[in-house]
A and B are shown apart, each in its own frame.
Chain A
């Protein structure tokens, strides 16, 4: 993360990585960033960072419950992200 040292830059870099090829992911990730991201601790932020590197289809499958990660840190985060979207 060192290349994005300043706080606002972390923000824009992260936000850009939340721009995806599917509306569903845009909504889930952006609502999460707006509502919950700042509440994460550093190790959760690292998990989020790692999850953003997943391909869109995998993210879609995880967020929409077609698949579950065996890594509990990831599956916990996925749950939090899902909850930020339901109406």
Chain B
């Protein structure tokens, strides 16, 4: 099809991604009578948000004393002081309201006997600025993500949001002035292409766990929105910070929720020692994720791993009363039976860190506006472009996300981005003109896969990329390892130019979808290794064996990576909250 024949549709707002972040934004917009299109490569309720079992944080103080300021302290500390404190204050203050809103939309939160919402303790939660363990996580049994996603989807249907289900977004449309005017998409079923013109576009495409071989993330998490942003000339922020969940099922990747340790589970090495007592004497097994991941890594590295290969540690739940396992953690038991053939009521679970959460992403402010450095201003909003959820970096998680803060993040910032869009739409009533040049890049990128005749395979390159990333940009990082990562990923990026696909059909060409996803993964992998190799300190999830200390003088700043010339730039952390005193950096001990 020629470019001029490609059909066009117009909307006030285009949301790319139908996870919790995208759907929360869409609902807010649809209720304000904006015309909203939501594009999702999978049916909305199959978005990755469905996998979030643990719950969302809010200082409701239903089980133990709590307030938003303690939640804020924990989030700043958890972020290893790389989180922006204005955004963190905003999120923690908004949290209780976000929970009540979800309850109102139909999420059946688990209850206490007194009728209030039950809250469980999660890692990194404290009372009174670093004191006793807090209980801040609200959950709908172990299906919180499912309940949130389905409630929001139903609400959107009611509010008449327009869904483009199983449509793949290829690229953003950007004019010469740098405005974002919508996106180029195609219908995965029919292959039909479509130009969606929008006054505002929100990226809500989720994370990029598929960068790594062992991951908790589903196959769909290929960092598409981050790739689109990079190709539109936007930077990605803080990509070196990738959270590894300490307790993935060894060899398989899937998660044993932190709730297991919240309910009394603990880790042991080959000698049967509760080794977390050595690394985090006070919080022990409930220390923050990076601390636990690194401790497991160290145990295995120093020869105290379990199993014939000594390549994992064990998570013990067999001391817990049967009814606790059954009522609070039913999912874990069956997961182990299905994927390992063992029952955790009788035997400990083999676990190892698994790639879990992308802290970095498209830089935004707390209104969801994508912000980029322009001349001397580090954070100039891009007209028409917003981002929210795991693909964005606002940055509330900084160098390390706390469990339960991500569902909160997607709901709070999905909503706040929508509110800003609503204001923007009042001032900007007309669509900007899109000429052919603007469309050409996306068109060419898609159609390159029709004609390419190189002999490299997409599958092979993806597998190699995931292996290279795991080995060279995982939990063990030194300059040599990371430099090797830069080199290897760069080689793979070159090879990708010579990849081709054999399937040239229009209908359901999933080979083409996978090729486009791999291009996104590759761009995101480059951003990740380049950013990681440059940061010569240890902070949060970026833990270096050759630079073991956090260096606040040199490195309390955000990384910005742009694709053009693979350039790195930096901007200061926003240490000033909205209304309270700032939390100055302190050693992060638990």
Contacts and interface: CB of A to CB of B under 8 A. Distances in A.
A and B assemble together: yes
A12 interface: yes
B218 A64 contact: no
B511 A12 contact: yes
Contacts of B219: 19, 23, 26
Contacts of A41: none
A56 to B, nearest CB: 5
A66 B331 contact: yes
Interface stretch (B41-49, B296-304, B429-437): B41-49
Nearest to B354: A23
B341 interface: yes
Contact of A21 (B50, B166, B251, B335): B50
B369 interface: no
B338 A64 contact: yes
A66 B334 contact: yes
B253 A21 contact: no
B107 to A, nearest CB: 13
A19 B218 contact: yes
Interface centre among A4, A12, A13, A27 (most CB of B within 10 A): A12
Interface centre among B216, B340, B507, B508 (most CB of A within 10 A): B508
Contacts, number: 99
Given A19-B42, A23-B51, A23-B254, A65 B338 contact: yes
B253 A85 contact: no
Given A56-B50, A85-B338, A87-B339, A22 B218 contact: yes
Interface in B15-70: 42, 45-51
Interface in A30-87: 55-57, 63-66, 82, 85-87
A86 B343 CA distance: 13
B47 A21 contact: yes
Contact of A8 (B50, B330, B335, B503): B503
A56 B45 contact: yes
Contacts of A22: 48, 50-51, 218
A56 B48 CA distance: 10
Interface of A: 4, 8-9, 12-13, 15-16, 19-28, 55-57, 63-66, 82, 85-87
26 contacts: A9-B507, A9-B508, A16-B166, A16-B510, A16-B513, A19-B46, A19-B218, A19-B220, A20-B50, A21-B42, A22-B51, A23-B216, A23-B217, A24-B335, A26-B219, A27-B254, A56-B46, A56-B50, A57-B143, A64-B334, A65-B334, A65-B337, A66-B331, A85-B338, A86-B341, A87-B340
